[in-house]
Amino acid sequence: MSLDVAWNEAQGDLYQYIALSWKPPWRTFYVRYYVHMTRSTDITSFTDFRARLRDHFDQQKKTGRALFVTTNGETEAVVLSPAAYDELIGQAELLESLALLDRSEDDIKAGRTRPAKEAIREIARSLNIELDR
C-alpha cells in the first residue's frame, strides 16, 4: 500500500487529501480531512456558549469548522454541524474498511483462507442453524 499526501488551501482552511493505493493501481481511495487548526473564534467558554447559543450555532454553520466549548480552559465539548459529523463518520468508516481490506490481503498472502462453503457450514453449526444443502 502506498500513501500520498497533498496539501490544499480552500476558504482559508487547510486540508489534506490522502491517496491510499493498493495493487493493482485502480484501487486508489482519496480521503480529505481538515488539518486541526483552531482559531480563537472557534473556542468559547461554556458560559458564553450558553448565553449566545444561537450566535455560536450560526457562526459554526457559516464556517463549517468545529466549535470547542471549554470550562476552566479545558475542552468539555466539540460542536459540529450534521454535515461535518456525517463527513467525519464517513471518513472513519472508509478508513476502517480500507484497514480491513489490508488485513484481508495479508491473510490471503499468508494462506489463512478456506473455502466459503466450509466456513458457512461451520458458522451455521455454531449457531444451531440447519442448512438446506
pLDDT of residue 6: 42
Model pLDDT, residue 51:
96
For 1-35, how does the pLDDT look when each residue is reduced to its tens digit (9 = 90+)? 444 444 444 444 444 444 444 444 444 455 555 44
Asked if residue 81 lies in contact with residue 59, where contact means CB atoms within 8 angstroms, the answer is: no
In a domain, residue 1? The reply is yes
- For residue 30, being part of any structural domain is answered with yes
Question: Beta strand pairing status for 27-34 and 74-79?
Answer: unpaired
> Is residue 6 domain-resident?
yes
For residue 88, being part of any structural domain is answered with no
Q: Give the torsion sign (CA, 12, 13, 14, 18).
A: negative
Give the chain's length: 133
pLDDT at 133: 66
Is the pTM here over 0.75, yes or no? no
Range of the domain at 30: 1-37
Within-domain flag for 86 = no
Whether the bond between 24 and the residue before it is cis, its omega within 30 degrees of 0, is yes
**How is residue 49 written as a grid cell?**
456558549
Please state the domain count of the chain: 1
